[in-house]
Structure formats: C-alpha cells, structure tokens
Structure 1
Amino acid sequence: MKILHVIPSVSPVRGGPSQAVLEMVWALRQQGVDAAIATTNDDGDQLLSVPLNQWVDYPVDPNEPTKTVPVRFFARCELPVTAVREFALSFSFTMWLWKNLANYDVMHAHAIFSYVPTAAMAIARTVGVPYIVRPLGQLCHWSLQQGAKKKQNYLRLIERTNLQQAAAIHFTALQERQEAAALELGTDSFILPHGLNLPEAMPNASAQLKQWLNLPEDVPVILFLSRIHPKKGLEVLIEALSKLRSQPFRLVIAGSGTAVYEQQIQHCVSQANLDDRTHFVGFVKGEAKQMLLQGADLFALPSHSENFGIAVLEAMAAGLPTLITPAVGLSPIVQQQNLGWVVPQTQAAVEGALQAFLQEPQAARSMGERAVSIVQQQFTWTQVAQQLAQHYHAMAQLSVPATATA
C-alpha cells in the first residue's frame, strides 16, 4: 500500500506539525506502510538547502542521521511578496503530482489554505485517488477569525469542495472536531492524536539547566517552548508573572518568531520589570531542547488556540506539569488526569495557577510523573501508526470516480 503525504513545508521553523509528519511517516514505514512525503523547500524567509525534484533520504531527527524517510522537495515560487512565499506556490510540485499521484493508493494532505494541499486535493479528486486531510487547527474558530474575509472567500470558492469530497478529515482532538462542526461540511472524520517517541532520560537535567542559566538550585524554572506568535498567549503569561515578583522563579522563552513580534515580547518583558527573571534562548532542538524540557519545573502555554498541542505532549513526556488554557486540544486529558492546570486565558487565572505551582512544588512533580505514564499508555508513535494504517486500508478500498476537472 502506497501512501503519499503532502505538506507545504517540513522546516523546523514551521513548528510542530511539520516535524510530526516526518515522525508519522517514519512510524508508518516501521509498520510496513510504503509512505513518503512531497513538499517544498520552504524554510520561512529562507529556503532549505536540499536537492530538488528527486527522492531524498531526509533525516527525521538531526541527531539520528540514519533515521530517515523518503521526501521529494520542489521549488517554492520565489516572488518578492511575503504572502506568495507563505502560500508556498510550486509549479514543479503541481506538474509532478499530475503525472504521479495515480500511482498511490491514498493521499494524506496536511494543512489547508495553502497551495500544496489545496492543489493536491483538487488533483486527487480529478484522478480518482481517495484522500485524507489533516487541517492543523485551521478550521477552529480562532484561526478562522484571523484574516477572516480572505479565509471565508477561500473556503467558499475552493477549500469547502476539497474538504467535503475528502474520504475523511483527520482531527487530532475532540475539541478540534467540535469547532469544525460549525461549518457543516458533512464529511466523515476520525480523531487520532499526534504520537511521540519517548525521549531518552537525561541525567541531572535540572542541574545542567541551572548551570547553563547560572541559577541557584532552588529557583524554579517556568518554560515557554513554542513558536513566538500572538496566538500563544505569552503576553498573558508575562503579565501574570509580573504580579509574583516577590517569589523566586525564572522564565525561559524558547522559540522564534518574526523579528517584529519578538521585539514586542522583549518590550513586554521590560515593561513588566522581568528582564532579570527572563531568559530568551531562541529556537532549540536536540539535546538543548531536552535539557530544557527535562530540567524545567513547569511548562506554560496559555494559548488562544491549539488544535492539539505537540509542545504540551513533549512536556508531558519529559515529566513536566503543564499550565494551559481550555483552547489547547490536550486540555481535557490534562484536566481529567490532573496533569497540570487548565485555566482561562486571563491574567488573574494564569496568576492563580502559577501561585499554586510555586506554593506546592511536590504536587507539581507528582503531576509530571503521572503525565509520563499517560504518554506511554496513549501517545506513542507506534500506537498511532497502527491505527492510521487501519484507516488507510479502509480508504484504499474506496471507489473514487475521477472527475473531468479539478
């Protein structure tokens, strides 16, 4: 069974969903599924240094060069317009897909409102290949309100047909499916979370982190690790922490965003009088990322909207209690299993959760220990890949008539 995954980018700068596709395809291949990825050489404002128009054994993890998956990269159209770059237009991708998509049993499209998945779904309909679409939270209310008029027109003219004629929509959390239901698409769907490869334990991670940051052993570290983006709620977290200056803590902000917004956050930190309590460490990966996750004491992501929350899952796997909002897809399990704090995205609510964390460190550590157990039981990539393979087998049996036009 041959499965083609299409996604606008696998660059780390595009966040967790791009990395998840690499992990997903690796796990599927371990289950005997012939899965591969077609994408562009997008790398945010830059381009990935990769061979184009040929299959490449691309590393899933830079620290494990032998762990690779087949990826075919196509040139992103380079015009001096930011919106065009973000749309990831690629003519060579289109031409290759027209010639080759019929050789696959199922196509799995990741993202919507972007050229690669939009074109791929239209072509799949034309050549009669069943496809699944994972919308990456783009059908959630908050996301649809960003650039609302443009998205409404795009949805009405193009994407609604793509979504309605999909064999299924792949949601990663119940909340994501519930929010998408308002669009009344009528398409079959299933819920399957992201998986995770359990990290190798890093001895003395806390001591290493405190030494790296030049902190005393008894100072708790609150970690924000995600894209630095307006939807992540960093301003609320900073405002809440500004009210707790009488207590010892350090805030570590790990991630990257646009230069303009990063400057806004740095200004916000200064206005909150937290310059001496905050460490900006930039985008991290590999050992540095695991040192942060395993060495910190609390993971905080008071986001406006997360269809799943891969960073939250990574924190849980590292044994961290989490502070999140109900808008994060993983919030039900965090709340039900008492793995952290799920609070409204207000300064007072976030401050209250932070206060509880600082006052009851042992209770927080117990939350983190339970989180590791939950991840081991429910969220490994092996478990996810086995279930996804079953969906592919069912989809491959569908008889999809080719249409005359896309």
Structure 2
Amino acid sequence: MKILHITSSIDPKAGGVSQALRSMIRGLSAASVVNDVVSLDDPDSGVNEGDSFTAFLLGPPKTSWRYTKNLIPWLKENIANYDIVLIHGLWQYHSYAAHKVVTALRGKKPRLMVMPHGMLDPYFQKAEGRRLKALRNNVYWKLLEGRVVNDADKLLFTAQTEQDVSALAFTPYKIKSASVVGLGIETPPAWNDLMADAFLQQSGYQLPQNYLLFLGRINEKKGVDLLVDAWLHLKTKYPSFPGLMIAGPGLDSVTGEAVTAKLNGVKDAWLPGMLRGNAKWAAFYGAGAFVLPSHQENFGISVVESMLCHKAVLISNKVNISQEIAEGGGGLVENDDLPGTITLLERWHKLTNAEKSLMNRTACRVANELYSVENATARLMSAIGYGATQQV
C-alpha cells in the first residue's frame, strides 16, 4: 500500500501537524506501508533534513494561503500512483489542490481522506479577536473547504472530542465516514547526562531544579498568559512554590513579548526558547510537572511526551485528551481561565510528595496504554481498510 500525505508544511516550527505526521509515518512504515509526503515548503529550506521518508517540497509558497504553481501539475502527474491520498490540515492551498485533482480523475482513483488536526474546532470561530477570520472561514467553507471535507471518503480524528466538536463549526457538514485513530507517541530516550549538556548548550544555563514546564508554541491559544499570571500569583502566596520554565518558539510574538516583559528579572523563571533533541528531553525529565492551560488543543503531543517521561500533566479541559488523562489518574484538569489555572497549579502544589510520585508513575502507564505507536497504528490501519500486519 502506498499513501501520499499532503500538508502545508513539515517544518517542525510550524506546530503539531508536522510532528503528528512524522509519528504517523513511523508507525505506518513499520507496518510495511510506503509513505511519501508533499508539502508546500521551499525545497531549499532543509525542513526534511533527517527524515527517512521521501518528501517532495513544491514551494516556495506565496501568500498566507500558501499557493504554489508547482502543486497541481505534480499531483496530476503522480497522484494515480497511490492507494490513498491523506490531506493533513485544512484552510490552505494544499487541501484545495488535492481535492481538485482527485475528484477530476476518471476511472481508478486513490481514496481521499482528511485528517483535520483540530482545524474544524469551533474555538476558531468563536474566539475573541477572530470575528473577521470567522466570517472569512464561513465563506471559504461554503465555496471550497466544505467540499473537501464532505467529499472525502473518510475523516480521521485524533480524539473522540475532536470528532464531536468538528460537527458544530460549519454547515453543511455531511461527511461520509469518520474514525478516531488517535496518535502514537514514541517512547522517549532514557535520561542521560548528555541531555543536561545539550540543555546548557541550547539555553546558555544549567538545567534548573524544581520547576513547572510549559513546552510548545508561545501564543494566546495555548493560555501562556494565564499560566504566567497564575504562577506569579501563587509565587507570592507560597514562597516555596516551584519555578516556571516556558520553552518553545514564539518569544518574538505579541504573546511572547508580553510574557517576556512580565517575567523579566523575576527569580525562578526561565525562557530558553525552542528546545530540540536532548535539550527538550532534559527539560521534560527535570520538571516537576507539565502545564498546558490551552484554550484549544487538538491532541497535545507534548502532553503525552511529558507523561512518557513520568511527569504528571496539569492541563485545561480544552485539551481534547484531558478526559482520558483525568480518568486514568495521569494528571489534573481545570477550566481554561485564570481562576481555573490558579486552582490547577495550587492543587498540584498541595499534593504530598507521595501523591505526586504516584501521579507521575500513573501518567507514564496511562500514556503507554492509550498512546503507543503500535496501538495508534493498528487503529489507523483498521480505519483505512488494511490489517496492521498486511504486507504490500
């Protein structure tokens, strides 16, 4: 079986879609599926450096729609060579082009599937400051994107919550079929001293002790502003309250600059920027717990990575996998507002060391049970109509 994955970008800095795609491909490749990727990245960008799959970078793209004249001609010439065309993400040129070429084919054609990666969440239509974008999306849905979604042979979701809320944002929403396939997250490397060395090299300072960790894109959607305000409040209330590390790209964004200003000169606060490889794992292993008070989170790859490093997660109820985590005992969940975030951090602080240790161990067990690569691949193979052990 051959799958063509089509996405706007595979740049790791672009967010969770690129990371989710790579994780999915590793699982599928182990099941003897051939995976190729088409993205709209600049072929000279190096974003596919180190990847084991074949990537066709057909950019550079133009405009925020990420248009490139190279995509449709390439698809017309090559798309019939694949059994499945899987669109990752929506609202940009790649989904329009893939739908246009597949639906125009005559005779035998690949099955067209869409993995929205949370991009049908009603949050984006209701969030403050997005009124004009919401109106634009409604028009775009009726003209183009609704056809992509409703004509697809199947939609693939990473969580049941994502599937449920995706039906609430736009009309008409009349999909043919859907499956919840989840995501599989690879077991992280065990702790070693090279991780601390890598952290020092990338951040410029020694790995601290006794801190809460946020690791992800620094923007308003992630609730980073809530986290900083809640932490500053509790740091005043409890002198022994743990420190705060906010790691990730986006310090030069509006939210990032506001966070930097609030934490400038504050003791026990660290902003190392984006961490990669061993430095990222050092941050996970060194943390007391992981925090994500997001207003919308489709899956939360960093959430699961943290759990696999034996770290409890303190997350909002807008993280789509929060219910499973709370029910399993792998973390704490509260509302995605300032009172909820304060309560979230304070609940963790008031746990005994024994209770924290138990939750840390439980987090790893829950992550292995729910989000292993093997289980996610088996669900995906079943959803696309092939047994996980089928050979091609």
Instruction: Identify the TM-score tier after normalising by the shorter chain.
Output: 0.7 to 0.9
CA spacing shift, 1:135–1:215, aligned 2, 3 Å:
closer
Q: What is the letter of the counterpart of residue 392 of structure 1?
A: I
Tell me the alpha carbon deviations over residues 344-377 of structure 1, each in whole angstroms, 9 at most, x when there is no partner: 1222222122122223233222112111112222
Deviation at 1:207, TM superposition (A): 8.1
Q: What is the letter of the counterpart of residue 343 of structure 2?
A: G
Q: Report if aligned partners of 2:310, 2:364 keep a CA contact under 8 Å in 1.
A: yes
Q: Does 1:73 align with 2:57?
A: yes
Q: What is the letter of the counterpart of residue 198 of structure 1?
A: T
**SS of residue paired to 1:327:** coil
State the distance in 2 between where 1:167 and 1:323 align.
Answer: 37
Q: Report if aligned partners of 1:138, 1:144 keep a CA contact under 8 Å in 2.
A: no
Q: Does 1:266 align with 2:260?
A: yes
Q: What is the letter of the counterpart of residue 191 of structure 1?
A: V
Q: What is the letter of the counterpart of residue 245 of structure 2?
A: V
Unaligned runs of 5+ in 1: 51-55, 61-67, 79-83, 396-406
Q: What is the letter of the counterpart of residue 233 of structure 2?
A: K
Partner residue of 1:254 out of 247, 250, 274:
247
Q: Report if aligned partners of 2:196, 2:282 keep a CA contact under 8 Å in 1.
A: no
Q: What is the letter of the counterpart of residue 357 of structure 2?
A: R
Q: Does 1:91 align with 2:79?
A: no
State the distance in 2 between where 1:77 and 1:89 align.
Answer: 5
State the distance in 1 between where 2:339 and 2:25 align.
Answer: 42
2:12: which partner in 1? 12
Q: Report if aligned partners of 1:208, 1:295 keep a CA contact under 8 Å in 2.
A: no
State the distance in 1 between where 2:194 and 2:308 align.
Answer: 14
Q: Report if aligned partners of 1:77, 1:88 keep a CA contact under 8 Å in 2.
A: yes
1:280-291 map, 5 Å = 280-291=271-282
Q: Report if aligned partners of 1:234, 1:302 keep a CA contact under 8 Å in 2.
A: yes
Q: Report if aligned partners of 1:176, 1:329 keep a CA contact under 8 Å in 2.
A: yes
1:64: which partner in 2? none
Deviation at 1:390, TM superposition (A): 2.6
2:214: which partner in 1? 224
**SS of residue paired to 2:57:** strand
CA spacing shift, 1:142–1:42, aligned 2, 3 Å:
farther
Tell me the alpha carbon deviations over residues 328-347 of structure 1, each in whole angstroms, 9 at most, x when there is no partner: 01101111012111101222
1:186-197 map, 5 Å = 186-187=174-175, 188-197=177-186
Q: Report if aligned partners of 1:41, 1:49 keep a CA contact under 8 Å in 2.
A: no
State the distance in 1 between where 2:323 and 2:21 align.
Answer: 24
Q: Does 1:387 align with 2:375?
A: no
Unaligned runs of 5+ in 2: 388-392
Partner residue of 1:320 out of 299, 311, 318:
311
State the distance in 1 between where 2:158 and 2:92 align.
Answer: 19
Q: Does 1:351 align with 2:342?
A: yes
State the distance in 2 between where 1:72 and 1:106 align.
Answer: 17
1:202: which partner in 2? 191
Q: TM-score, normalised by structure 2?
A: 0.87
1:90-169 map, 5 Å = 90-127=68-105, 128-145=109-126, 146=130, 147-169=133-155
CA spacing shift, 1:277–1:3, aligned 2, 3 Å:
same
State the distance in 2 between where 1:209 and 1:367 align.
Answer: 28
Q: What is the letter of the counterpart of residue 183 of structure 2?
A: H
Partner residue of 1:234 out of 208, 217, 224:
224
**SS of residue paired to 1:328:** coil
**SS of residue paired to 2:361:** helix
CA spacing shift, 1:42–1:173, aligned 2, 3 Å:
farther
Deviation at 1:298, TM superposition (A): 0.9
Q: Does 1:170 align with 2:184?
A: no
State the distance in 2 between where 1:41 and 1:353 align.
Answer: 39
2:46: which partner in 1? 49
Q: Report if aligned partners of 1:307, 1:329 keep a CA contact under 8 Å in 2.
A: yes
Report the RMSD for the aligned CA atoms in angstroms. 2.4
Deviation at 1:136, TM superposition (A): 1.4
**SS of residue paired to 1:6:** strand
State the distance in 2 between where 1:120 and 1:209 align.
Answer: 41
Q: Report if aligned partners of 1:197, 1:380 keep a CA contact under 8 Å in 2.
A: yes
CA spacing shift, 1:276–1:148, aligned 2, 3 Å:
same
Deviation at 1:258, TM superposition (A): 6.3
**SS of residue paired to 1:341:** strand
Partner residue of 1:362 out of 333, 354, 361:
354
Q: Report if aligned partners of 1:33, 1:389 keep a CA contact under 8 Å in 2.
A: no
Q: Report if aligned partners of 1:300, 1:322 keep a CA contact under 8 Å in 2.
A: yes
Q: Report if aligned partners of 2:41, 2:61 keep a CA contact under 8 Å in 1.
A: no
Q: What is the letter of the counterpart of residue 260 of structure 2?
A: Q
Tell me the alpha carbon deviations over residues 260-288 of structure 1, each in whole angstroms, 9 at most, x when there is no partner: 32212212334xxx722210101111000
State the distance in 1 between where 2:79 and 2:319 align.
Answer: 35
Deviation at 1:210, TM superposition (A): 10
1:404: which partner in 2? none
CA spacing shift, 1:177–1:222, aligned 2, 3 Å:
same
Deviation at 1:248, TM superposition (A): 3.4
Deviation at 1:208, TM superposition (A): 7.5
Q: Report if aligned partners of 1:209, 1:292 keep a CA contact under 8 Å in 2.
A: no
Say which is worse superposed, 115-124 or 154-163, in terms of deviation: 115-124
**SS of residue paired to 1:259:** coil
State the distance in 2 between where 1:191 and 1:129 align.
Answer: 21
Q: Report if aligned partners of 1:312, 1:330 keep a CA contact under 8 Å in 2.
A: no
Deviation at 1:139, TM superposition (A): 0.7
